[in-house]
Amino acid sequence: MKPISLADKLARFSTHWDPHVVADYNGNDVMVVKFQGEFPFHLHENTDDFFLVLDGEMAMDIDDQSHIVKTGELFIVPKGVTHRPRAQKECHVLLIEPKGVPNTGDPTTAAPKPRI
């Protein structure tokens, strides 16, 4: 039980699309992640997906719409909705997903989500 600096955690890795767990909340992984480039379109059948932009700007593509999400903005993708996060420049994001959820929607391609 102590304060967790998200900036300090983000300074500890440089890889993109590589979420790192910083805390637990009721069986959810609370993660920081760096986005740059384009992630595959995917969906999570059984969970919403929580994104809070900490620094920079991302796009969330859903169907034929692209939502720009800026620093200090939250975007929650409801379960079952196909989506693609994307960022032209590096963007830092707080991500929350239940433990065991593959970030790609597919366990065979999912990132390992190490704890830092």
Binding residues (CB under 8 A) for a second copy: these are 1-7, 22-26, 28, 30, 47-48, 50, 52, 54, 60, 62, 67-70, 72-79, 81, 94, 96, 98
Specify burial of residue 105 (Cβ count, 10 A radius: 0-12, 13-18, 19+): middle
Q: Which letter does DSSP use for residue 9 in this model?
A: H
- In angstroms, give the least distance from the CB of 25 to a second copy: 5
Nearest to a second copy of 68, 109 (CB atom): 68
Cβ partners under 8 Å of residue 81, min gap 6: 43, 62
Instruction: Using the minimum distance from each CB to a second copy, give the nearer residue, 98 or 102.
Output: 98
H or E, element range at 98: strand 84-98
Nearer to a second copy, 24 or 106 (CB): 24
